[in-house]
Amino acid sequence: MILSHIVAVSENGVIGKDNKLLWHFTEDLNYFKKRTTGKVMIMGRKTYDSIGKPLPKRFHIVVSRTVVDSLHEQVKYVSSLKEAYALAEKLTLSQNWPDEVMIVGGGQIYRESLADTDFIYLTRIPGKYEGDATYDLNLPKEFGLAFSQFSDAHPGLRYEIWSKAQTIADES
């Protein structure tokens, strides 16, 4: 199983405020969709609440200290990251989900899972924002920049892929 963060971060490391995103870039939302569709996602309970409903064609593992049964077949609550990894591994091994599992936030879950992560899909959002959820842009030094491309549509917005193995990620 490969674990990847996917995150959009402003210049000062802010990723959200009051359990909401602070910007709206359709291109970046489409990038998120492209990178996550068909895959298993792991997220914190607050991020799941902020999305509000399951996203199509994705399996949602929600980490919370209060485990509840979801009404949705593709949503499962677990009580720790360790359990999230175990369930993700089971899904990728036995139920035809791809090997890459996407960790989609928020701040707490990114921090707690960084040491286990192989790739970081980092969208750099231009500007500084005030917020209460953050992502540390001082990436651990074992990560190397494998890919970097400015957006066509939005000046200053940049897509990067950081890899522990420093290999170029599959762009197909």
**Residue found by looking up tokens 């924002």 in the block:** 129
Tally helices (H) and strands (E) across the chain: 4, 10
Instruction: Give the per-residue contact string, 70-109, with ligand NAP (x = CB under 6 A; - = no).
Output: ---------xxx----------------------xxxxxx
Q: Which is nearer to ligand NAP, 85 or 167 (CB)?
A: 85
- Which of 24, 26, 52, 66 forms a contact with ligand NAP (CB under 6 A)? 66
Segment 8-27, which members bind ligand NAP (CB under 6 A)?
8, 15-17, 19-21
Least distance in Å: CB of 96 to ligand NAP? 26
Q: Are 110 and 103 in contact (CB under 8 A)?
A: yes
Angle at the Cα of 124 (from 122 to 125), degrees rounded to 5?
135
Q: Is the dihedral of CA 48, 43, 84, 30 positive or negative?
A: positive
**What is the Cα–Cα distance from 127 to 33, expressed in whole angstroms?**
23
Which positions lie near ligand NAP, rule CB under 6 A? 7-8, 15-17, 19-21, 44-47, 50, 63-66, 79-81, 104-109, 112, 133
